[in-house]
Structure 1
Amino acid sequence: MVVISCAYTEQINPSGASPLLKQDQIWRGLQRKIRHAQDFVPVITGTDVLEDKENEVTRVAHFKQMGDNPPHSEKEVCKSYYPTRVDFWQENGALITNTVSDGPGGEQDFNMTYTFEWRHPDVEKGSEEHKRLEAQYRKQAQGAVHNSIEAMRKMAINGELD
């Protein structure tokens, strides 16, 4: 069994970004992402919320075909830790974490990091498949972070995060 871990970080409010996202807007964006993942992640076609209680949401995210992977659905338990982190636990033990951290630049200098821990019981460590998956996940991590920040920025422009 192989466990593939990767992470990617991007600055939320780089120089020239408009509007600058505030911490509460970012948090509201992450909470919306839990319940409407398709607005943030292009490979997700829909989200069904099964249970919504304080700081924990159980949902099913529906994925379109990605490369060799056919369309599928993943049940996830999403745990929120205001104002910095959301954990997405999948039934097979995989974990995706979305973390907002402060940067050195002051009040609105935030970074978004997504950390992924994917489990592949049928993949041999060091195999070509292992290497292929690592490269694929690194690329997907970059896209996931960037797309999420851009979605939040558009939502802020439209007044959806106030």
Structure 2
Amino acid sequence: MVTINVAYTQAVNPAGVTPVLTREQMWAGMEGKVRRAHDFVPVFSDCKVIEEHDNVVVRETTLKPMEGRPGKTQQETCRLYKPVKVDFHEPSGCVITNMLSDGPAMTDEELQMTYFFEWPHPDIEAGSDIEKGLTEQHKKRGKMSVEKSIESIRRMVVAGKL
């Protein structure tokens, strides 16, 4: 068994990109992603909230078919740690953390978004070519997830939806 851990960080407000997103806007987007995953990350086709209490949201998400695997619906538990972090717990044991952090100046202009992924693969041998290939796939998925989330939040802010 192997667990593949990858993380990707990106500046929320790189030079020249407007509008500058505030921490409050980013957090509103992160909360929105919990309830409407399909509006933020293109691998989802649907998302329904099943229950919500004490900063915990249980949702049902539908993943689109991709990379040779069929689409599937699964129940996830999301834990919100306002205004910094959301943990998504999948039934497979996968944990995805979305985190908003400050840069050196601690201003909105230097906000950073990091996604950390912990993917257990019980049938994969450590050090195998399969593990190496999956690690590269997961890195690409992580990068795409961060980029698309920030793009979606920026688009919603511009449209007046956040």
Work out the CA distance in 2 between the residues paired with 1:8 and 1:153: 19
* Correspondence for 2:83: 83
1:158 CA displacement:
0.9
1:124 CA displacement:
1.1
1:54 CA displacement:
3.1
The alignment status of 1:117 with 2:88, answered yes or no, reads no
1:66 CA displacement:
1.2
Q: Structure 1-normalised TM-score?
A: 0.96
Query: Where does 1:97-136 land on structure 2 (aligned, <5 Å)?
Result: 97-108=97-108, 109-136=110-137
The alignment status of 1:13 with 2:16, answered yes or no, reads no
State the AA in 2 paired with 1:148.
S
Work out the CA distance in 2 between the residues paired with 1:6 and 1:68: 21
1:70 CA displacement:
1.1
Work out the CA distance in 1 between the residues paired with 2:106 and 2:14: 12
1:17 CA displacement:
1.3
* Correspondence for 1:149: 150
Detail structure 1 runs of 4+ shifted over 4 Å in the superposition: none
Work out the CA distance in 1 between the residues paired with 2:91 and 2:70: 18
Provide structure 2 residue ranges, at least 5 long, that are not aligned to the other structure: none
1:47-95 CA deviation, whole Å, 9 max, x = no partner?
0111122311001111111112211122110000011000001122210
Work out the CA distance in 2 between the residues paired with 1:72 and 1:91: 12
RMSD: 0.9
Work out the CA distance in 2 between the residues paired with 1:136 and 1:122: 17
* Correspondence for 1:66: 66
Work out the CA distance in 1 between the residues paired with 2:152 and 2:128: 36
Identity %: 43
* Correspondence for 2:53: 53
Provide structure 1 residue ranges, at least 5 long, that are not aligned to the other structure: none
State the AA in 2 paired with 1:121.
P
Q: Structure 2-normalised TM-score?
A: 0.96
Work out the CA distance in 1 between the residues paired with 2:127 and 2:70: 24
State the AA in 1 paired with 2:96.
I
